[in-house]
Amino acid sequence: MIRSEFFVSSSADHGAQIHVRSVTPAIMTAATPIVMCLHGAAMHNIIFDVPIETDYPTFLEYLAHNGYAAYAISYRGYGASSKPVPFHDHPLPSRCLMRYDEACQDVIDVINHVQHLFPASKINICGLSWGSVIAGAFINQFPNLINKLVLFGPVYSYPNPAWAALLNPENTQEINPALGSYRILTKDQITAVWDAEISVSDKTLWRNPVALDAIIKEMLDSDRTWAAQQPDPEVLRLCTGVLQDIVEVYNQRPLYQAASILCPTLILRGAYDSLSPAADAEGLLRELGAEDKKMITFGNATHYALAERRAKLLWQEVITFFNSHS
């Protein structure tokens, strides 16, 4: 396998760079199938590249081991990708940054880059959480480009109480006006929801501490220069565009048309996932236009099942799905 990291220039923001992690088979051909991994609201592309067990591959490595060229994107404002200009200002005066359509443009840029190198390759997408919205929006724009779609813990169109705090208390159709271009996340907040969803007191039974430490370190490292000037240096900034998108989801205004998605689609979610409730995932499954579609729910798993100890079960389902001839 060949591991690399590289940057792709943004077509939407002059001078901005989009960070990509990749793990590919040692020998690549023009026909090597591609998997493009799209992260969610907080954890950037590191979520696809952490060890779930000692001496066990990461998700990207697992895909490469099975013959797929795996790429994981960090949208602008996330991870090692360029920070938007308004990040240099106080967060309140600016608009919410990096809505789903802006992140979708980053996906277009990266796929164009990879397609230039491997024009004959089939492209598959894995979208996690908010990444499922971005994946759906991309396929709506390019309905014939994607071979197969996998959605981990998707959000689509459901009044999930978990998102209520994002709403304007005087008008639940709108985002809370106190939110600006970015929000500040502390080290403890990074894993607060994850910890709450793990139903046992010993969190290590479900989640490898090595994976957790790797995620926390990568997230905090992505904004160290700014954080060093703050009272608490163990913080980072995250774009709030995703929160505006979640308000739309909460108010049952889907951001993409599931009925227009015709490629084979697999939905995977954890039984303890509070951010992707069964009702939302089931509603999405019904609305998908694909004939080949199914959903699997895994016990003792959360919204972040992709990076938990049971992840190998999810990964096996992904490879089985990609390798099927439907």
Rg of the chain's alpha carbons, rounded to an integer? Answer: 19
pLDDT in tens, 280-321: 999 999 999 999 999 999 999 999 999 999 999 999 999 999
Transcribe 67-91 into DSSP letters. Answer: T-EEEEEE-TTSTTSPPPGGGGS-S
Which position has the higher pLDDT, 176 or 283?
283
Which position has the higher pLDDT, 153 or 84?
153
pLDDT at 166: 79
Picking from 317, 274, 267, 277, the residue whose alpha carbon sits closest to that of residue 135 is 267
pLDDT at 199: 92
- pLDDT range class, residue 326, cuts 50, 70, 90: low
Transcribe 90-126 into DSSP letters. Answer: -STTSPPP--HHHHHHHHHHHHHHHHHH-TT--EEEE
Q: Tell me how far apart the alpha carbons of residues 136 and 150 are, in angstroms, rounded to a whole number.
A: 11
Mean pLDDT over the full length of the chain: 91
Picking from 281, 274, 276, 265, the residue whose alpha carbon sits closest to that of residue 317 is 265
Q: Tell me how far apart the alpha carbons of residues 304 and 321 are, in angstroms, rounded to a whole number.
A: 20
Picking from 4, 242, 20, the residue whose alpha carbon sits closest to that of residue 109 is 20
pLDDT at 171: 82
pLDDT at 118: 87
Q: Tell me how far apart the alpha carbons of residues 156 and 159 are, in angstroms, rounded to a whole number.
A: 10
Among 53-57, 94-98, 218-222, 319-323, where is mean pLDDT lowest?
94-98
Q: What is the mean pLDDT of residues 122-127?
A: 96
Give the pair of three-digit tokens for residue 324.
């099927």
Looking at residue 313, the DSSP 8-state letter turns out to be: H
Residue 92: is its pLDDT beyond 60? Answer: no
Count the neighbouring beta carbons within 10 Å of the beta carbon of residue 235.
Answer: 17
Residue 225: is its pLDDT beyond 70? Answer: yes
Asked if 96 and 176 count as a contact pair (C-beta separation under 8 A), the reply is no
Q: What is the mean pLDDT of residues 55-71?
A: 95
Transcribe 226-274 into DSSP letters. Answer: HHTTSSSSSEEEEESHHHHHHHHHHTT--SS-GGG--S-EEEEEETT-S
- pLDDT range class, residue 159, cuts 50, 70, 90: confident
Sign for the pseudo-dihedral over CA of 167, 171, 176, 178: negative
Give the pair of three-digit tokens for residue 143.
């309905």
Q: Under DSSP, is residue 23 helix (H, G, I), strand (E, B) or coil?
A: strand
pLDDT at 279: 95
E-state strands within 112-248: 123-128, 146-152, 167-168, 171-175, 182-186, 235-239
pLDDT in tens, 102-112: 999 999 999 99
Q: What is the mean pLDDT of residues 49-76?
A: 94
Residue 94: is its pLDDT beyond 60? Answer: no
Q: Tell me how far apart the alpha carbons of residues 18 and 303 are, in angstroms, rounded to a whole number.
A: 25
pLDDT at 119: 84
Looking at residue 215, the DSSP 8-state letter turns out to be: H
Count CA atoms closer than 13 A to 174's CA, side-chain side. 8
Question: Apex CA 160: angle with CA 155 and CA 161, to 5°?
Answer: 145
Residue type, 157: S
**End-to-end Cα spacing for the chain:** 27
Q: What is the mean pLDDT of residues 52-81?
A: 94
Residue 93: is its pLDDT beyond 60? Answer: no
Looking at residue 34, the DSSP 8-state letter turns out to be: E
Give, in order, the Cα–Cα distances in Å from 167 to each of 178, 245, 288.
Answer: 10, 11, 28
Q: What is the mean pLDDT of residues 230-244?
A: 87
Q: What is the pTM of this model?
A: 0.93
pLDDT at 88: 66
- Classify residue 160 as exposed, middle or buried by CB count within 10 Å of its CB (0-12, 13-18, 19+): middle
Residue 91: is its pLDDT beyond 60? Answer: no
Residue 198: is its pLDDT beyond 80? Answer: yes
What topology does CATH give the domain 2-323?
Rossmann fold (3.40.50)
pLDDT at 125: 98
Give the pair of three-digit tokens for residue 36.
């493009």
